[in-house]
């Protein structure tokens, strides 16, 4: 980074610190002063501020979370995007900095362009218009919708340029062709949704040169294509870092991570702002001759928000909306993409006895612009087979038929197929030729047998249940178009009966979620300084997970002189009993209950701050947290169930504890606490496994 950029950064940091109280507090919370951030490299000292953080700040300190550094009266416009997130726009010719990208796309003074972004509350429409006007273009403020009138306007004014969503451009061209109205469009500047190669090729074939750009409501232009179509050029005076999604540390060029932005703006504190998108930096020279770094396209999202038709949809928005309807017991927003267009439907489950017509009417008022609201039939969890056959069979079977008529795939596990309605749905799907997927993630027969080991009555029930379970699973894999079985033992047991079987591993994280080497170095430093060995568990607190044994063993290891800590992330039916046992043992400072962690980067980031995952089931289990631990570079310390032995052989990142010998298990924990070398040696293997399974 050049000296001029660092000087601008120093000036902006000092100004924001003096005039934006929220930014001043942010530096103070990080133990920093403006003088600590005198270069781009120093920005890594400041923790990343993410969209969810900004939403919370603005809610606590409206309207801008204390980040506005000028009086609100000096702003040109104020916007509100979904979240909600408020965005200030300063008095400037091209506040969003879209001009350079539009110029690279060939827009010139005097030509007419349709701006098809919305002008209502959100900034895209007004911001892109300013960019067009900065070049001297004449703007048709089309906004969203009313396609026929927009086509007539483009034809009347001789529009040659288009700015908007790529899918909407295709819709306009299709509509114009249907109407027989010729258009003169020859260039398009598109953003805010994917541009598949097939759509670009189709639009190019229709005479429109398409250039993609990238930006956000908070930051404006963050990248644009040139004539080489070889990545998104990052504009001048915009600092983009690609950072590890867990630690926030900048990554080398070429590695994928979160896009973190610092703007050299004096009106609003956008400093180390994580926009939630994944990308990487291209540093090789571009054929166009520009010397700027480039972003290597959009590679995914961090966090739960997703984009629909160019606008973010946050789970919190859905939760706030649906919380107003007590008759709704469950809901799901379903986003699909067909023919280059996003479709959003809301699936709703009503409480027993609720009036579907009334609920549907209320929901239509709340979301009038939806693609569809479907009231999804539900079966009470407590429903017994006798009740099904005597009280509601016809209605539920009709519901199943209605759903199957529009189902693309029907999937189930063996537990589902012990329920009459699921059995009917499964068989009907197979008879109709609807593709079926069967999923089994645990050897339930073995699990039940091991859980019943000390109880003769329970052993008999487990044996009978096991035979029934075997028959159901064999039947399912024989009929399913695809059977996904977790672990080689299940594949060996049921694979011979299956039409099409695959082994799967329950990994739900992205490659970008896997931590780098920094957490491993922090563990080495803790070992050097003699800090306590930190174990962690993340998941449900239920009997078969063996948490009572883990608590007992950690307590005994501590009494034997081991400096250990055991943190539990999660919740469940055993929590109260476990908390009581911790109090009885007097190890509250050693065993801590830290609540839930959101799945994804938050969970993996928290796991990365520990030394090992401690997992002590006394019956067969196949927990996803083993793989989450790998993504965090965590070795596994676990009891010797079959799946743990399988993982120990496959990944070489496991310390196996004997289930039947508590004294030996405790001795192993003591040894690990006194000599960290074993876990430190296993950590790189765990990290390698995390990367392998993500790929």
CA dist 385 and 392 (Å) reads 11
- Rounded to an integer, the average pLDDT of 582-601 is 91
- Rounded to an integer, the average pLDDT of 328-334 is 77
CB neighbour list of residue 53: distance below 8 Å, 6 or more residues apart: none
| Tokens representing residue 34 in the block | 């403006």
CB 429 within 8 A of CB 413: no
Could you tell me the CA-to-CA distances from 305 to 193, 313, 332 in Å, in that order?
14, 6, 14
**How sure is the predictor about 95, in pLDDT bands with cuts at 50, 70 and 90?**
very high
CA dist 441 and 463 (Å) reads 20
More confident residue, 544 or 392: 544
CB 466 within 8 A of CB 448: yes
**How sure is the predictor about 230, in pLDDT bands with cuts at 50, 70 and 90?**
very high
Q: Using a pLDDT cut of 70, give the percent of the chain over it.
A: 90
Beta bridge partners, 238, equal: 263
**How sure is the predictor about 572, in pLDDT bands with cuts at 50, 70 and 90?**
very high
**How sure is the predictor about 340, in pLDDT bands with cuts at 50, 70 and 90?**
low
Kindly tell me the sign of the dihedral angle through the C-alpha atoms of 282, 283, 287, 288: positive
Rounded to 5 degrees, what angle do the CA atoms 230, 236, 239 make? Answer: 90
- Rounded to an integer, the average pLDDT of 531-551 is 93
More confident residue, 147 or 544: 147
Distance, first Cα to last Cα, the chain: 33
CA dist 660 and 641 (Å) reads 11
Query: In whole angstroms, how large is the CA radius of gyration of the chain?
Result: 29
pLDDT at 541: 94
Quote the DSSP letter at residue 68.
B
More confident residue, 290 or 340: 290
Residue 41 above 80 pLDDT? yes
Residue 477 above 60 pLDDT? yes
More confident residue, 470 or 63: 63
Q: Say which range, 101-105, 337-341, 454-458, 482-486, has the weakest mean pLDDT.
A: 337-341
CA dist 647 and 689 (Å) reads 10
How many CB atoms are located within 10 Å of the residue 347 CB? 14
| Tokens representing residue 538 in the block | 């993340």
Question: Which residue from 594, 603, 600, 543 is spatially nearest to 573, judged by alpha carbons?
Answer: 543
This prediction's pTM: 0.64
CA dist 194 and 336 (Å) reads 13
How many CB atoms are located within 10 Å of the residue 332 CB? 12
Rounded to 5 degrees, what angle do the CA atoms 13, 16, 21 make? Answer: 130
Residue 137 above 50 pLDDT? yes
| Tokens representing residue 609 in the block | 């701050």
Fold of domain 1-73+233-300: Rossmann fold (3.40.50)
CA dist 263 and 271 (Å) reads 6
More confident residue, 317 or 39: 39
Q: Beta strand pairing status for 257-263 and 273-279?
A: antiparallel
Distance of CA 115 to the CA centre of its chain: 31
**How sure is the predictor about 462, in pLDDT bands with cuts at 50, 70 and 90?**
confident
Domain(s) of CATH 3.40.50.2000: residues in the chain: 511-694
More confident residue, 77 or 413: 77
pLDDT at 102: 98
Question: Which residue from 164, 163, 228, 166 is spatially nearest to 200, judged by alpha carbons?
Answer: 166
CA dist 379 and 136 (Å) reads 61
CA dist 348 and 487 (Å) reads 35
Side-chain-side CA neighbours of 679 within 13 Å: the count stands at: 30
CA dist 173 and 206 (Å) reads 9
DSSP, collapsed to helix, strand or coil, labels residue 645 as helix
pLDDT at 63: 98
Distance of CA 532 to the CA centre of its chain: 32
pLDDT at 279: 92
Domain 314-376 of CATH type 3.40.50.2300: no
Element housing 302 (H / E) = none
Distance of CA 455 to the CA centre of its chain: 43
CA dist 647 and 641 (Å) reads 10
Fold of domain 92-225: Rossmann fold (3.40.50)
Rounded to 5 degrees, what angle do the CA atoms 52, 374, 350 make? Answer: 80
Q: Work out the widest C-alpha separation in the chain, in whole angstroms.
A: 88
Residue 78 above 80 pLDDT? yes
Question: Which residue from 491, 470, 522 is spatially nearest to 633, judged by alpha carbons?
Answer: 522
Domain 511-694 of CATH type 3.40.190.10: no
- Of the segments 3-12, 208-217, 441-450, which one has the largest average pLDDT value? 208-217
Q: Beta strand pairing status for 410-412 and 612-615?
A: unpaired
CB 307 within 8 A of CB 277: no
Residue 94 above 80 pLDDT? yes
Question: Which residue from 578, 604, 602 is spatially nearest to 591, judged by alpha carbons?
Answer: 578
pLDDT in tens, 404-436: 777 788 888 776 666 666 777 778 888 888 898
- Rounded to an integer, the average pLDDT of 232-237 is 94
How many CB atoms are located within 10 Å of the residue 386 CB? 9
**How sure is the predictor about 65, in pLDDT bands with cuts at 50, 70 and 90?**
very high
Could you tell me the CA-to-CA distances from 107 to 99, 142, 511 in Å, in that order?
9, 18, 38
More confident residue, 89 or 596: 89
CA dist 573 and 492 (Å) reads 33
Beta bridge partners, 484, equal: 439, 502
pLDDT at 368: 46
Residue 360 above 70 pLDDT? no
When the pLDDT of each residue in the chain is averaged and rounded to a whole number, the result is: 88
More confident residue, 444 or 387: 444
- Rounded to an integer, the average pLDDT of 5-32 is 96
pLDDT at 339: 65
Residue 382 above 70 pLDDT? no
pLDDT in tens, 239-267: 999 998 878 899 999 888 899 999 999 99
CB 107 within 8 A of CB 134: no
């Amino acid at each position: 980074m050049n000296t001029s950029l660092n000087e601008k950064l120093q000036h902006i940091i000092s100004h924001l610190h003096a005039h934006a109280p929220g930014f001043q507090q942010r530096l103070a919370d990080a133990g920093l002063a403006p003088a600590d951030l005198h270069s781009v490299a120093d920005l890594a000292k400041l923790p990343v501020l993410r969209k969810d953080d900004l939403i919370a700040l603005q809610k606590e300190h409206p309207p801008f979370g204390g980040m506005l550094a000028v009086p609100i009266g000096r702003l040109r416009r104020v916007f509100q995007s979904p979240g909600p997130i408020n965005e200030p726009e300063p008095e400037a010719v091209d506040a969003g900095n879209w001009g350079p990208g539009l110029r690279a796309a060939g827009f010139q003074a005097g030509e007419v362009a349709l701006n098809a972004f919305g002008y209502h509350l959100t900034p895209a429409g007004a911001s892109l218009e300013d960019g067009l006007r900065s070049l001297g273009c004449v703007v048709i403020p089309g906004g969203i919708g009313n396609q026929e009138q927009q086509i007539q306007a483009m034809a009347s004014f001789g529009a040659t340029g288009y700015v908007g969503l790529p899918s909407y451009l295709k819709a306009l061209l299709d509509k114009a062709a249907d109407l027989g109205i010729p258009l003169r469009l020859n260039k398009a500047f598109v953003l805010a949704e994917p541009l598949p190669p097939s759509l670009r090729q189709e639009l190019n074939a229709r005479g429109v040169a398409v250039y993609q750009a990238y930006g956000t409501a908070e930051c404006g232009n963050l990248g644009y294509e040139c004539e080489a179509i070889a990545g998104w050029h990052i504009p001048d005076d915009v600092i983009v870092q690609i950072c590890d999604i867990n630690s926030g540390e900048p990554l080398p060029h070429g590695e994928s991570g979160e896009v973190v932005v610092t703007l050299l703006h004096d009106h609003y504190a956008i400093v180390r702002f994580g926009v939630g998108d994944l990308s990487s930096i291209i540093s090789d020279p571009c054929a166009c001759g520009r010397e700027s770094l480039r972003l290597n396209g959009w590679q995914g999202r961090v966090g739960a928000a997703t984009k629909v038709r160019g606008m973010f949809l946050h789970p919190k928005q859905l939760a706030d909306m649906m919380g107003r309807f007590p008759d709704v017991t469950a809901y799901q927003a379903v986003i699909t993409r067909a023919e280059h267009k996003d479709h959003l439907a809301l699936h709703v489950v009503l409480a027993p006895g609720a009036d579907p017509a009334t609920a549907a009417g209320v929901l239509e008022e709340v979301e009038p612009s939806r693609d569809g609201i479907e009231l999804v039939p539900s079966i009470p969890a407590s429903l017994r087979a006798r009740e099904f056959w005597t009280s509601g069979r016809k209605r539920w079977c009709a519901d199943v038929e209605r759903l199957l008529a529009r189902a693309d795939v029907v999937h189930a596990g063996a537990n589902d197929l012990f329920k009459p309605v699921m059995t009917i749905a499964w068989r009907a799907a197979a008879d109709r030729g609807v593709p079926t997927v069967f999923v089994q993630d645990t050897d339930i027969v073995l699990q039940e047998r091991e859980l019943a080991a000390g109880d003769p009555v329970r052993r008999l029930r487990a044996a009978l249940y096991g035979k029934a379970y075997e028959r159901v699973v064999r039947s399912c894999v024989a009929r399913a178009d695809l059977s996904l079985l977790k672990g080689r033992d299940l594949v060996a047991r049921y694979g011979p009966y299956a039409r099409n079987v695959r082994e799967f591993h329950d990994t739900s994280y992205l490659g970008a979620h896997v931590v780098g080497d920094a957490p491993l170095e922090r563990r080495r430093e803790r070992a050097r300084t003699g800090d306590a060995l930190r174990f962690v568990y993340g998941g449900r607190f239920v009997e078969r997970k063996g948490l009572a044994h883990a608590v007992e063993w950690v307590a005994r290891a501590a009494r034997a002189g081991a400096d250990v800590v055991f943190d539990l992330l999660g919740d469940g039916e055993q929590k109260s009993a476990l908390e009581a046992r911790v109090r009885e043992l007097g190890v509250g400072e050693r065993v801590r209950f830290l609540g839930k962690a959101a799945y994804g980067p938050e969970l993996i980031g928290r796991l990365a701050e520990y030394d090992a995952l401690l997992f002590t089931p006394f019956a067969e289990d196949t927990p996803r947290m083993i793989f989450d631990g790998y993504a965090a570079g965590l070795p596994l310390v676990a009891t010797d169930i079959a799946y743990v032995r399988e993982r120990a052989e496959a990944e070489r990142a496991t310390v196996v504890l004997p289930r039947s010998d508590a004294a030996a298990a405790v001795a192993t924990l003591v040894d690990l606490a006194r000599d960290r070398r074993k876990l430190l040696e296993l950590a790189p293997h765990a990290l390698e496994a995390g990367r392998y399974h993500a790929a």
